[in-house]
Structure 1
Amino acid sequence: MPATVTLDPLGVHCIFSDGSEYRRRLRVRRPVELPGLARTLLEGATDLVHPHGQVDSAGGFDLYLTAVRGFTDWLVEFGFSGGASDLTRALLARYWRQGVRSSQESALRAMLRCADDQEQILAPDVRAFVDGRLFNTGERYGSHQPYSEAEWARLIRTCRDEVDGAFRAFCAAREQASSADGPGASLRERAAHHWLVLNNGPDPLVREMAERGSFPFRQRYGVGLRAVLDPLIPTLDVIIAYQLLFGAYKHRGRAGRDRGPGARRHRVGG
């Protein structure tokens, strides 16, 4: 076996695929007061070691020891004195809801699953709970709290400023392009570029420029071709602002209200 549980002291002995040997005892704040549960979790952890699982290094296994220590220490302080078969959904949820790191939560779930696969020790509803989604999926960003009304208002205002400005630029470019003399207009005129994009999309403009010879956009406008087309084709920033704005409206139940010109859609050729 590549990994086994040692009993005196309680810990693990692993041999990884590179031949390295790993021995660790389970270090806790006090003498192990839940030896049965701790042993069950460690037996589940050993089943995660290569080639049965993906754990194949000392650093990888240390995470599981940390998860066992944290869980058993918390259970003792909580007053729990049973084994794995005595765990309940409510108890696990209470532990995970206190802000356990997602990596440790994942490790604990994996150990419980493996132990249950071996001995069928968990109640069916507890096993289903262990197989469910993580409680803590974003500890790197801190705890997640709902936006306040003031924060929603700032988000909506920022997105509205972005999309309203983009929509005004789109309307201005479309109006200027309507006066262009179609394909016959000089390609040195920005309105002619917009006319081509509005009527044929951006590809014909690029092909037309190639046929007539490249035109130095930066000398004419101080910007590149992408910036010439930006008023007509939303940039990534504008797209994200629309998505956030629509999501904010949906969240606040405002999908049908407060829809000024910025809530309209950029549309090429209409």
Structure 2
Amino acid sequence: MPATVIEEPLGVAAVFPDGSRADCLLRDGSLPVFARQLMRALADLVHPHGPLKRATTVREYQGALRHFLPILVATGFEADAARLTRPRLAQALMALPAAKHEHHVRAVLRRLDDLDHVFADDVRLYVDGQVFKSRRSRDRIPLPAYTETEWKRLAEVCEEAVADSYRLFRRSLTESQHGRHWREGGLSRENIQWTLRHDGPHHPGLGRNQIGVRRYQQELLPLYPGGAAGAVGALFPLADTVFSYQLLFGIRTGIVPDGISDLGLEDIDWAGDATVLLDYVKGRTAAESMVLSRPAVRLLEQWLEHSALARRFMPADFKGRLWSRFCVTGPHRWSSEPLDPYTRDVWIRGHGLVDKAGKPWQIHVHRIRTTFEASRDRRLWTGSTRATIDPNHTPQVEGDHYLAGQSPAQKAATETVIEGAQQDLLRRAEPQVIKDGDDAAAVAAAFPGLVAGLGLDEGALAELIGGERDVFAAGCGDQLSGLHGPKGKPCPARPWVCLLCPLALFAPRHTPNLMRLRAYFGRQWQQMPSHPFMATLGPYAQRLDDLLTSTYFPESVLRQAAAEVSGTDDELPLRPEETTA
């Protein structure tokens, strides 16, 4: 039933989706003509024509108008909406005490213009424009990620709830194959599920008033402790089941909650039997897409099977929406809207989710994404110059929305990554020592600065030149320096890491192994995608191409070294996972 305007006192009367009726009064006498126009627009924002579904929400909008109207009067405005000018509107909106008030006022003005086309073009553009933000995004305190214990507990609860509801669905589906209409065969699980499967959930006739209180308590409740709602929910997913699926889907994908809520069947693109490309809407960056992980695909397949029977009885408007569900109570039998706070609280209490103080959790769906970003596996982020953060985020977004809410352990890990990157930049700025002869005196004369930088005395330099400190691809100034491992222990770096190490010295005797490394890089290039190769081996391959030129080594030395290369992995000290096919 559409909402209506109350003339005296001015307000809105409405019947809401949960069946409640309320009279929401403006309680402000400013600008009576303009105020009545605003109430008519507000009434049109109430369900079923608009998104407002609760009396408290309507009263919030009226509270914003109670701030707006006196401010507008103070600017000298005394007419109706058609006389409103852009300067006066801007002055009134900027004087509102909170950003949410401006949001509500703009929504009402926008609906008023949709109904009557009452505003001038410049005012209409201003009404449809951006909301003034009273607080910068950098000053907002983001919700912190769940702790590992909380995250694990939430995932376990959702997985258990989804598994139990799906198990009950499969059992009830089997039972429905062996029964008949319950009015003919009596109240049994098989007969009740047969009736629901063939007649749908709308009018099963299982209420107290329909079968009698005594029969309801003695026959139905022993079968389904939840009564008629429990019987219907066994075959047709209800609100609590849908919420469990949505939470678990967010845990496995990290999609923003509004993107999950608005998903439709047309957003699912099946690329084969096990791969899904999901298109969703993200408020900050509009349309996005994601290739789902295998656990997320399995959950999506299970939900589509779980809801397939319900879609046979849904109205056409709901069949294309992914999370459509049946509603046992209320004036509307089908819904695809997000759950209201009351239903969420019932779900939380029903699953025993309490904090350290023993109080029920406050589940913020946006924290699901924040925790997913904080705990996801970053080893797959190859091909990005910013391999320590999500390549799909800008540094600004990553810092504002995810790094700001880190735990102390996560902050320490982030600082360690930053320190390591800074040290790596300093090391790479130091030139490598390249030796084109075997005479230590000539090296000392040609490279006094480099020798001093390595901190080598004459004895150590003689060992280095003589090959006593050789590793696979170079001579090492000090293997116990701890550049790539703990100080005081031998360097654990892989053979190609020496190419960019400031402690490495390259001599003609090293060219055969350098050639073997070049052949190994060539084989890896053939079997690896270009982005992962450049992210992991690219800098070393480029450095190697610079070294193996006539600038550093004579052509005869290079040709002789190339003749010693057989082009197999046996020539290099590789781990099993590093070998090429």
* TM-score above 0.5, yes or no: yes
Quote the Cα distance in structure 2 between the aligned partners of 1:165 and 1:38: 62
Q: Distance in 2 between matches of 1:57 and 1:136?
A: 26
Q: Which amino acid aligns with 1:18?
A: D
Match of 1:4 in 2: 4
Runs of at least 5 residues in structure 2 that lack an aligned partner in the other structure: 141-416, 434-469, 485-489, 501-520, 522-532, 539-573
After alignment, is 17-26 or 94-103 more displaced? 94-103
Structure 2 CA distance for partners of 1:7 and 1:209, relative to 1, 3 Å: farther
Match of 2:113? 116
How far has the Cα of 1:137 moved from its partner? 5.8
Unaligned runs of 5+ residues in structure 1 are 143-161, 213-270
- 2-structure distance, mates of 1:80, 1:191: 75
* Counterpart position of 1:189: 491
Look up the equivalent residue of 2:10 and give its one-letter code: L
Matched length: 188
AA paired with 1:20?
A: S
- Residue equivalent to 1:172: 427
Q: Secondary structure at the match of 1:55?
A: coil
Q: What letter is aligned with 1:17?
A: P
Query: What are the superposed Cα offsets for residues 75-118 of structure 1, whole Å, 9 maximum, x if unpaired?
Result: 22333211111111101111222354222111111111111111
C-alpha distance 120-167 of structure 1, shift in aligned 2 (>3 A): same
Give, in whole Å, the separation in 1 of the partners of 2:426 and 2:46.
Answer: 62
Q: Where does residue 93 of structure 1 map in the other structure?
A: 90
Taking a change above 3 Å as real, the CA distance of residues 24 and 195 of structure 1, as seen in their structure-2 partners, is same
Question: Residue type matched to 2:85 in 1?
Answer: T
Equivalences for 1:1-270 in 2 at 5 Å? Answer: 1-28=1-28, 32-136=29-133, 138=135, 141=139, 166-172=421-427, 181-182=472-473, 189-192=491-494, 195=497, 201-202=535-536, 211=577
In percent, how many aligned pairs have the same letter?
Answer: 34
Matched letter for residue 104 of structure 1: H
Cα RMSD of the aligned pairs, angstroms, is 3.9
Query: Which sits farther off after the overlay, 11-20 or 128-137?
Result: 128-137
Q: If the length of structure 1 is used for normalisation, what is the TM-score?
A: 0.57
8 Å CA contact retained: 1:2, 1:16? no
Distance change (3 Å), C-alpha of 1:175 and 1:118: same
TM-score normalized by structure 2? Answer: 0.28
Structure 1: which amino acid aligns with 2:472?
D
Asked if the contact 1:102/1:136 (under 8 Å) is kept, the reply is yes
Q: Which one has the largest radius of gyration?
A: 2
Code of the residue aligned with 1:6 in structure 2: it is: I
Change (3 A) 1:193 1:44: farther
Could you say if the C-alpha distance between residues 69 and 173 of structure 1 is closer, same or farther in structure 2, counting changes exceeding 3 Å? same
Report the CA distance between 1:169 and its aligned residue.
3.2
Deviation at 1:170, TM superposition (A): 2.7
Aligned to 2:69, what secondary structure does the other structure show?
helix
Q: How far off its partner does 1:131 sit?
A: 0.8
Separation in 2, partners of 1:105, 1:11: 20
Which residue identity does 2:427 align to in structure 1? A
Deviations 1:146-190 (A, max 9, x none): xxxxxxxxxxxxxxxx9898444333268699896349x999624
